[in-house]
Amino acid sequence: MILPTTDFEAILHARHGSPHSVLGMHALTYRRSHGLVVRAFLRDAAACDVVLTDDAPPSVFAMKLLAPEGLFEVFIPRRPDVCAYELSVTSADGRVRRMRDPYCFLPTLGEQDLYLFNEGNEHRIYTKLGAHLRDLGGVKGVAFAVWAPAATRVSVVGDFNGWDGRYHPMRSMGSSGVWEIFLPGLGEGALYKFEIRDKAGQLRVKSDPYGTRFEGPPGNAAIVCEVDQFTWGDADWIGRRRSQAGALDRPVSIYELHAGSWRRKPEEDNRPLTYRELAPQLADYVTEMGFTHVEVMPIAEHPFDGSWGYQVTGFFAPTHRFGAPADFAWFIDHLHQRGIGVIVDWVPAHFPRDSFALAEFDGTHLYEHADPRQGAHMDWGTLIFNYGRNEVRCFLIANAIAWFERYHVDGLRVDAVASMLYLDYSRGQGQWVPNRYGGRENLEAIDFLRRVNDLVHHYHPGVLMIAEESTSFAGVTRATSEGGLGFDYKWNMGWMHDTLKYFSLEPIHRRWHQNELTFGMLYQYAERFVSVFSHDEVVHGKASMLYKMGAWHIPEKAANLRALYGHMWAYPGKKLLFMGGEFAQSQEWNHAASLDWHLCQYMEHEGVRRLVRDLNRLYCAEPVFGANDFNPHAFRWINCTDADSNVLSYLRMDAGEETLFAVVGHFGGAVRSYRIGVPRRGWWREVINTNSEYYGGSGLGNDGGRATTEEPRDGFTQSIELTLPPLTTLIFKWTEKG
């Protein structure tokens, strides 16, 4: 045996930190003879020969078995130069296979790749780390690479080597902390993980942080998958999207959904729809309903259904639950070709503690902070990313960009931004660490958010970055060049909570809570807001949208909900509504069951659905609404102080006040005769009456419209006399000059 005993033991027991220096072919002087030594460590091999393929005919040298585990060695004298070779391996049952040696290939990553990664500036590191099909000099295989700087040894394990970490130890790329190996002959479909030996000698078997496809629990292995081969048909959509870059005040009405529970197949054990089944049905429905976008709750891989996707373990992989990555691409491509944008929930705020995933990845707190006052999320029992570490920031930025480049998504709704911005989020005194200035702001997270927003917009003009941010942090949608975070839109959580609080009251009590409806206008134009009623509001005992309404009977609850939606769509702000809310689902949302579509046979539910459809059509057709959500000159109160009557009235208009709409919300329980002032003489046509029989109401209204009279009211010289049905929002359009 030429191999030194220390190397022999280290290879045999999977403790060698530099296997490429031992295995493979190397020039060697042995007993004064200049030649080549070849070593191979092969699973299930009874014999092995080295075949020098440069020779004609090829020369064959039998290798000596050094250990029954499959460690072979041979010295080839008078061959001082390394040359091309293959291994001819004979298994115990006599089968012979020819293979290229994984330890004869140069690294698949360059110094520049690693430098930029360590610097935090390799924006597409997902094309380098992980598992990728490669062709190296005509040899096809899979290149694996993983970042584990504190590891003493890393192996790729999988169904191709019996999940045995001894047989494919990886090469350390020095101070970069990256380990890599190329396995020739391997292809798509192979299952794999990384086996990591930490400095304490403990073994950790981890899934690939950059994996593009995963099997389901409990295996959770990554699957070698080429995700860049899908043939897209959405070039026209992408071109239109690019042309809209910077045009943020346009109709955006978002239908939020959970892919696993929108509809199910009851005849097939109540299984969820696949990506390819979901796309055409969803496109038909969303088109009918008039929504411009769908927002899919986190679709990245996650082990626990009950997390709804918010505890991600496979950041670069669409979940296996509904199909393969190509199926998810087909889903988006189909929606694009139907004229529907796709926004995906993105979760860079935290990750779960599952032992197979990111937590303590290489035996150290690699992706998270070591100090639990910084690294532990108090609300969800998860871990917080260390945004100050270059490689972690690189991972997250690359992840955002990957969803746009690989899957053509139109936007990311960034989850739990508030928890990222503040070091003391959900923490008491002594439970958090101040920043370097002694403040509570997470400066590293703020810097990360600015960078990811700028880079996403740089690489993909026209896409949307949307913040779920529940505090009054200033400048969320302000440009980074002006000191802001650089988001396009922000969820208006304050408006949502105030409005729901008001509508949860019985009408008799609302007179003392008018400020819940009016306070939001004080800050409405401080950010570019999306008015939202999301999934978070219809779970955990909060009740469905219908059952939130302050009334005793279903018809009254439905009337309240119709009035609420009429107000929401007329009020400034882009729109978002969670699935089921559009037809007034009675039960809270259940992630493990279909929506209650059968309710649409009843007018209390079907009427709400018809109203939401018509509100969307009005919102998208009239620029006064869809193109003036962020224009403070496009809104004016008519009367916001008549709390005793439970009436709220306001105008929506364009810049020249050529197109005018008057919105009157009557949220009391009795019919009223009511006069409002208006700025134009003529006919005000009733375009929406949420009390219409068509929507399930009584039909009481204003006979299609009202003409002005010369009676001053609300600061105007003319007014219109209205009949206000109970629990109703009315929208009027000025159509004629007086």
Supply the residues annotated as catalytic. Answer: 415, 468
* Interatomic CA distance for residues 589 and 579, integer angstroms: 9
Question: CB–CB of 449/455 below 8 Å?
Answer: no
* Interatomic CA distance for residues 14 and 7, integer angstroms: 10
Q: State both tokens at 697.
A: 């109401």
* Cis omega (within 30 of 0) for bond into 57: yes
The DSSP secondary structure of 248-269, one letter per residue, reads -SS--EEEEE-TTTSSEEGGGT
Give the up-direction half-sphere exposure of residue 579: CA atoms within 13 A in the CB hemisphere: 24
> Reduced to 3 states, what is the DSSP secondary structure of residue 171?
strand
Question: CB–CB of 36/25 below 8 Å?
Answer: yes
Question: CB–CB of 704/686 below 8 Å?
Answer: yes
Main-chain dihedrals φ then ψ at residue 231, nearest 5 degrees? -95, 110
The 3-state secondary structure of 334-389 reads HHHHCCCEEEEEECCCCECCCCCCCCCCCCCCCCECCCHHHHECCCCCCECECCCC
Task: Give me the amino acid identity at 456.
Answer: V
> Reduced to 3 states, what is the DSSP secondary structure of residue 495?
helix
Helix, strand, coil percent content, the chain, rounded in steps of 5: 30, 25, 45
* Interatomic CA distance for residues 431 and 443, integer angstroms: 18
C-alpha 301, offset from chain centre: 10
Q: State both tokens at 95.
A: 């089968």
Question: CB–CB of 682/643 below 8 Å?
Answer: no
The single residue listed with the structure tokens 């942090």 is 473
With 0-12 / 13-18 / 19 or more C-beta atoms within 10 angstroms meaning exposed / middle / buried, residue 625 is buried
* Interatomic CA distance for residues 442 and 424, integer angstroms: 9
* Interatomic CA distance for residues 209 and 359, integer angstroms: 11
What beta strand segments (E) does 328-388 contain? 341-346
The single residue listed with the structure tokens 């999988």 is 158
Nearest C-alpha neighbor of 637 from the set 560, 562, 716: 716
* Interatomic CA distance for residues 575 and 253, integer angstroms: 5
Question: CB–CB of 649/729 below 8 Å?
Answer: no
